[in-house]
Amino acid sequence: MTLLELDGVQKRFGAVEALRGVTLAVDAGEVVALVGDNGAGKSTLMKTITGVYRPDGGAIRFEGQDITGLEPGAIRARGIEMIYQDLALARQQDVAANIFLGREPVRRLLGVLPMIDRRRIETEALRMVRRLGARLPSVHYEVGLLSGGQQQSVAIARALTFDPKLVIMDEPTAALAVREVEHVLELIRELRRQRIGVILISHRLTDVFAVADRIVALRQGMVIADERAAATTMQEVVAHIVGAH
Ligand SMILES: Nc1ncnc2c1ncn2[C@@H]1O[C@H](COP(=O)(O)OP(=O)(O)OP(=O)(O)O)[C@@H](O)[C@H]1O
Ligand SMILES: [Mg+2]
């Protein structure tokens, strides 16, 4: 099933044409890597999908419904989650608190006083960590003390609590040590097994080839290649990115 469809999406910033008619599709359970040089338009494209920017032209459909120009909250409610490169985690709080950051479940003390339902946070957080198969010491561990890869797992577990159908990840492996990269790639494969669509923005082609079903290359705001990973090579993708083709 086609989950997300972009049809001729355009975005301008004054004189800069950041997106010049981008057309692409993502299926449920498909990992699509989005590659391209600095300034190619990758972040702009993601922010246009998530509603941070309103496209100047073209259409965006999700599960067959037009979502063009909807507000970020409405798009999120449809099931699109974005994990930003900085992860936006509270380093001094523990794993469980981070998974529910900003939307802690509340219970009423004596039926009136609102209180954060810490027990529910912990059981739910543990459920998400298990669902993902993430390797975390405990949900009580302070996030700032976790490794980069473990912090990435917390951000993914957090996204899972929204029950997303599509997860967009911006450079999830850029800051990671080699051993941790494999762990994050395994989490991405787990999302695919759960039939979640994934858009992976990455400059690291080894990671892209290790996990992506399809590779879409952007150059100067245009899709210049859209191929099955198994049908292309790293050399070919590099040539697309730098414009040698
Ligand atoms: N808010 C903005 N205002 C003006 N111009 C912008 C804005 N955001 C992006 N641009 C321009 O749009 C183009 C695409 O930028 P974008 O950030 O989408 O590239 P990118 O592919 O994400 O690059 P990188 O790999 O460096 O993150 C660039 O020319 C950039 O200068
Ligand atoms: Mg970017």
CATH code for position 42: 3.40.50.300
CA 16 to centroid of ligand 1, rounded, Å: 9
Q: Is 25 inside any structural domain? A: yes
Task: Please tell me the distance from the alpha carbon of residue 167 to that of residue 235, in angstroms, as a whole number.
Answer: 27
CA 90 to centroid of ligand 1, rounded, Å: 27
Torsion of CA 123, 129, 132, 136, to 10 degrees: -160
> What pLDDT shows up at residue 95?
92
CA atoms within 13 A on the CB side of 126: 9
Q: Which two tokens stand for residue 35?
A: 């590659």
> Confidence class of residue 120 from pLDDT cuts 50, 70 and 90?
confident
Report yes or no: 176 and 165 within 8 Å, Cβ to Cβ: no
Q: Last residue of a domain, which of 108, 140, 162?
A: 162
Mean pLDDT of 55-77: 96
How confident is the model over 134-186, as pLDDT tens digits?
888 888 999 999 988 889 889 888 888 888 999 999 988 888 888 888 888 99
Q: Which two tokens stand for residue 189?
A: 């494969």
90 lines ligand 1 (CB under 6 A): no
Are 131 and 184 contained in the same domain?
no
pLDDT for 23 beyond 90: yes
Q: Which two tokens stand for residue 110?
A: 């004596």
> Confidence class of residue 245 from pLDDT cuts 50, 70 and 90?
low
State the residue range of the domain holding 97. 90-162
Q: Is 158 inside any structural domain? A: yes
* Average pLDDT over the chain, rounded to an integer: 91
How confident is the model over 68-118, as pLDDT tens digits?
999 999 999 999 999 987 778 888 999 999 998 877 777 777 777 777 778
141, 169, 202 from 191: Cα distances, Å? 24, 12, 17
Q: Which two tokens stand for residue 175?
A: 């800051």
Are 152 and 104 contained in the same domain?
yes
Q: Is 85 inside any structural domain? A: no
How many separate domains does the chain show?
2
Q: Is 11 inside any structural domain? A: yes
pLDDT for 206 beyond 90: yes
49 lines ligand 1 (CB under 6 A): no
Are 40 and 97 contained in the same domain?
no
Looking at residue 204, the DSSP 8-state letter turns out to be -
Tell me the longest C-alpha to C-alpha distance in the chain: 69
Question: Percent of the chain having pLDDT more than 70?
Answer: 100
Are 245 and 187 contained in the same domain?
yes
Q: Last residue of a domain, which of 145, 162, 179?
A: 162
> What pLDDT shows up at residue 233?
96
- Displacement of CA 132 from its chain's centroid (Å): 15
Are 208 and 111 contained in the same domain?
no
> Confidence class of residue 244 from pLDDT cuts 50, 70 and 90?
confident
Q: Is 38 inside any structural domain? A: yes
Are 132 and 242 contained in the same domain?
no
Are 182 and 62 contained in the same domain?
yes
Q: Last residue of a domain, which of 162, 193, 215?
A: 162
18 lines ligand 1 (CB under 6 A): yes
Are 70 and 177 contained in the same domain?
yes
85 lines ligand 1 (CB under 6 A): no
Which numbered ligand comes closest to the C-alpha of 53? 1
Which numbered ligand comes closest to the C-alpha of 16? 1
How confident is the model over 27-48, as pLDDT tens digits?
999 999 999 999 999 999 999 9
Are 11 and 131 contained in the same domain?
no
> What pLDDT shows up at residue 172?
87
Q: Is 84 inside any structural domain? A: no
| The residue type at 209 | F
Using alpha carbons, select from 56, 76, 50 the residue that is nearest to residue 12: 56
Are 37 and 66 contained in the same domain?
yes
